[in-house]
Amino acid sequence: MARSSTEASITRAIKKYLNSIEDVWYFKVHGGPYQTAGIPDILACRDGRLFGFEVKQVGKKATPIQQRTIDLINDAGGVALVVHSVADVEAAWY
């Protein structure tokens, strides 16, 4: 049985991918006691559009507060979603 990727390894792969794209700005959000709860793990901007990527292992879902933030970003015209891989991020651009 193949070992599933950790959230940290998925995040590293996504950051490497984002670094390879010239026209993308991104920021890795580091949670902590002074951070607003529910903010996606990675915020990115491409072509003037905000993207929020909540990184999860395959089979894991966003917490209720994370899902609420995802919904708020989407309702405001951005794109936010749970991602499990670089392929999920690539698909979000289109």
Q: How far apart are CA 40 and CA 1, in angstroms?
A: 30
The phi, psi pair for 38, rounded to 5°, reads 95, -5
Q: Let me know: does 73 contact 52? Beta carbons within 8 Å.
A: yes
Q: Let me know: does 14 contact 83? Beta carbons within 8 Å.
A: yes
Question: pTM above 0.95?
Answer: no
Q: Where are the domains of the chain?
A: 7-92
Percent of the chain with pLDDT over 90: 85
**What pLDDT sits at residue 3?**
57
Q: Is pLDDT above 70 for 1? A: no
What would the pLDDT profile of 20-63 be if each residue is shown by its tens digit? 999 999 999 988 888 889 999 999 999 999 999 999 999 999 99
Q: Of 79 and 36, which is predicted with more confidence?
A: 79
Instruction: Name which CATH class applies to 7-92.
Output: alpha beta
Beta bridge partner(s), residue 51: 44, 79
